Structure 1
């Protein structure tokens, strides 16, 4: 829709008037009038016409810069988001061939337009707007902190749209300068983005470590720290069973704050090698994100696979051997699938055992003791002692926290 005839006429008069302070004041008054009096359907077109006028050759760069800076301030405060987006895109196109002369104003305008997109939760267009901001400039100095703020914002926008591929590209740019960045908020956002990218790409154990590291940062609000701890537990549960996950689960379980998270119940059962019931798994799944529930190549979800592998390890703690059909029944699947998962875990050294396909039996812990149960019994003894020691430690810690005076008296005695 074209600008109103009254606005066009007024702007033409201003363009042809002599260059003096009164003309600048008249332009400012005209902008205020456009914003105040234009209808919703005319406002975007009138704003575009205003910018075209102040950038005309009759005004000149020296006169245009302060007028454009004043416009950007007014534009940033517009309440109608649709108008901001419509006008902002057209004005950026008008400025494109003149960016060198108006770099700061162009940058400020793009930031304001990106804000408008984010208000509408259109994070992809916000990222695309931020991507065309000039950061390698001969006209103005752009610090590493300023570059980092733009790149981390682009990265976070793409993560909001579940697009880790594009997010990684800008995170990699940031990696090259992160050690020069002094903004602590950007550094924390960088760590969080690393965790979210690993999470989105199903590198759950890497994500868990990154989330846990963030949860220990004292500069973060306590509620946010607990939230990132919950994310760390969730990712650890979803990670592939094996020694690496066991170490991560142990670290999380021993953190006193873990008991305050909704995920503590499933964390405890996994850490103590207890079988997970379908109801517990369903309750945990209800809090997962879409990408964490995505189907794998065999038609199951990441959670299904993680639970099955965990239950398989739990069974190996209870039995020296078991038939594949009975194993399938315990795992809630068929014998063939139970054998397939067990074979994969044995092959990758995440489960100690061997499969007798002729007899249809799996023997656990054969590399440590074969059919001789002494190694198995010794291992079970060690596990029980470790579990008892950990429980005693937990009770002692609780007493120290809840009954500090009594605890000190006992220690002194």
Structure 2
């Protein structure tokens, strides 16, 4: 007897025999060759009006369990969308089963590396319903998964929209894995949008999470260093570089060499820059409006700051030679950094000379900046020690704080 005939016969039946008959037929279908079409017909039958909702729900739940463990991914991709379409018009009656099937189909898409369709499938899951209570943890988990799927496709725009949804409820989320994924996604989005300072801060925070494997923490630390190097030169970047340089684990990172030179305001050679560039991602090597890469700009600005530590003044011609650019471009970068308060100095355009203030011993602004830097460094060390005490001796720490 054909599958269609057996299904018609079962629809006309009733009671435990019908339920057992459907279970036996499902096993037969899963062992056959025409699986996808027969599975669609099976769901059409068990959700039909002749079977009734009371019987349909347990039958559909049993089907979901079998469908989840079925090993042929291609069959899931072929049958899944059709099955969802069948129960879509009756989703109020089968809301939980509809959600479970969408999660299974999303898994199948991701196994096939089709992250866009996975995200689109997950987006159709009902999260606001009068039929079932959906916790903030469940909502965040779904939104986080959608966000990560879009990030896999380098679609930062859609990823951000779902990350913003999570931001509204993140403080109610207790699941540690979801919270960590949220932190990582924040870092990845900032990185992809070239907000490198924000990305560096987020990656570094992630690298200190003790629940993450040591190897993954070091990867996050490396990403934090890379993003700090690519960030625009200035006081904020300087503080972030100081924090990374003082991290005891930084010496184990491949990027430590360039981090040290930048932190100590030493000139970087083209060979060192080329070695660092070899490990960058595609978006980190994208061209800016003036035709240079983000790395080119970051290194040029760093070397300009390094020159300001060595010279009291210098002509733009000689500055250009040190930076590896022409005199006009050297002047443009220098004036831009001075205007944005990222470089202390003044320009004599008539003489073609830039004067740096960093070498002036009695400059009150310089002295204040050095004082601020020392205070910031001391504060960071105190914070580091406090965090270590809280982690290693939590009982003693609570006693001291509460005293």
Same fold (TM over 0.5): yes
Q: Which residue of structure 2 lines up, in the alignment, with residue 33 of structure 1?
A: 28
- 1:382-404 deviations in Å (ceiling 9; x for gaps): 89xx9xx99xx9xxxxxxxxxxx
Structure 2 CA distance, aligned partners of 1:284 and 1:336?
27
Structure 2 CA distance, aligned partners of 1:37 and 1:206?
54
Query: Aligned match of 1:248 in 240, 244, 265?
Result: 240
Within the alignment, does 1:48 sit opposite 2:40 as a pair? yes
In the TM superposition, structure 1's runs of 4+ consecutive aligned residues that sit over 3 Å from their partners are: 373-376
Within the alignment, does 1:281 sit opposite 2:276 as a pair? no
Shift of 1:375: 5.2
Structure 2 CA distance, aligned partners of 1:185 and 1:214?
12
Shift of 1:101: 0.3
- 1:273-315 deviations in Å (ceiling 9; x for gaps): 1111112111111211121111111111111111111111111
SS in 2 for 1:233: helix
Q: Which residue of structure 2 lines up, in the alignment, with residue 132 of structure 1?
A: 124
Query: Aligned match of 1:354 in 325, 346, 357?
Result: 346
Query: Aligned match of 1:263 in 255, 264, 277?
Result: 255
Query: Aligned match of 1:14 in 10, 13, 16?
Result: 10
Shift of 1:80: 2.1
- 1:62-99 deviations in Å (ceiling 9; x for gaps): 11111111111111122222221111111111111111
Q: Which residue of structure 1 lines up, in the alignment, with residue 56 of structure 2?
A: 64
Shift of 1:231: 0.9
Stretches of structure 2 that go unaligned for 5 or more consecutive residues are 382-403
Structure 2 CA distance, aligned partners of 1:277 and 1:344?
23
For 1:111-190, list aligned pairs within 5 A. Answer: 111-190=103-182
SS in 2 for 1:138: coil
Structure 2 CA distance, aligned partners of 1:108 and 1:374?
70
Structure 2 CA distance, aligned partners of 1:224 and 1:83?
35
| RMSD of aligned Cα (Å) | 2.1
SS in 2 for 1:275: coil
SS in 2 for 1:363: strand
Shift of 1:227: 1.0
Structure 1 CA distance, aligned partners of 2:15 and 2:258?
73
SS in 2 for 1:198: helix
TM-score (norm 1): 0.86
Within the alignment, does 1:217 sit opposite 2:209 as a pair? yes
Stretches of structure 1 that go unaligned for 5 or more consecutive residues are 394-413
Structure 1 CA distance, aligned partners of 2:225 and 2:307?
22
TM-score (norm 2): 0.88
Structure 1 CA distance, aligned partners of 2:117 and 2:156?
16
SS in 1 for 2:154: coil
